[in-house]
Amino acid sequence: MPEPTMIRGQTRSDFIQFLLFGNLTKVCGFQERLGSVDLYGLRWDKLQLCSTMGDHFLSFSDIPWPTKLRPSRPPDITREAVKSFLESLDLASNSKECVPWIKKELLRWHPDKFTTSVLHMVYEDQVGQVEEGVNIVSGIFTDLMREAQSSA
């Protein structure tokens, strides 16, 4: 399959948006067949592929947040939103089965790791919002991990 190319009049940001979120259903099939976890993973995979395109092309809403609905600001990332996302993956947030998944997410969302792997791609004027969101997600996953381990 040929690499996607920018079309006349399309900004670099629009192109990145297309690569990250556009036509996921055309590329991968219907969303219902994929499920939330697959789309979440695909968005992260695409984000890593796009990281070679340079700095400063992601906005807050471009980050694959672990929520069912894409948040528009940090306060939209709540414990309830993350737990709802986990339930959509058929993971009960306090079950033993979710511990390996939460461990992986704790590494992904660790503020230091996130800073080196993703934050350089965020528009400068949105870095603070993204850092705030990452800290919220990291805190939520830390709490969920404690709960899951204590109930196991």
The DSSP result for the chain, as a single string, is -PPP---TT--HHHHHHHHHHTTHHHHH--HHHH-HHHHHHHHHHHHHHHGGG-SS-B-GGGS--SSSSPPSSGGG--HHHHHHHHHHTT--TTSGGGHHHHHHHHHHH-HHHHHHHTGGGB-GGGHHHHHHHHHHHHHHHHHHHHHHHHH-
> Would you say residue 133 lies in a domain?
yes
> Would you say residue 93 lies in a domain?
yes
pTM of full prediction above 0.85: no
pLDDT digits (tens), the chain, 152 positions: 344 444 445 555 555 555 555 544 343 333 433 445 567 888 888 887 777 766 667 899 889 999 988 899 999 999 999 998 888 877 665 567 788 889 999 999 999 999 988 998 899 999 999 999 999 999 999 999 998 888 75
pLDDT at 32: 39
pLDDT at 77: 98
> Would you say residue 7 lies in a domain?
no
**Domain encompassing residue 131:** 12-151
> Would you say residue 4 lies in a domain?
no
Query: How many separate domains does the chain show?
Result: 1
pLDDT at 3: 43
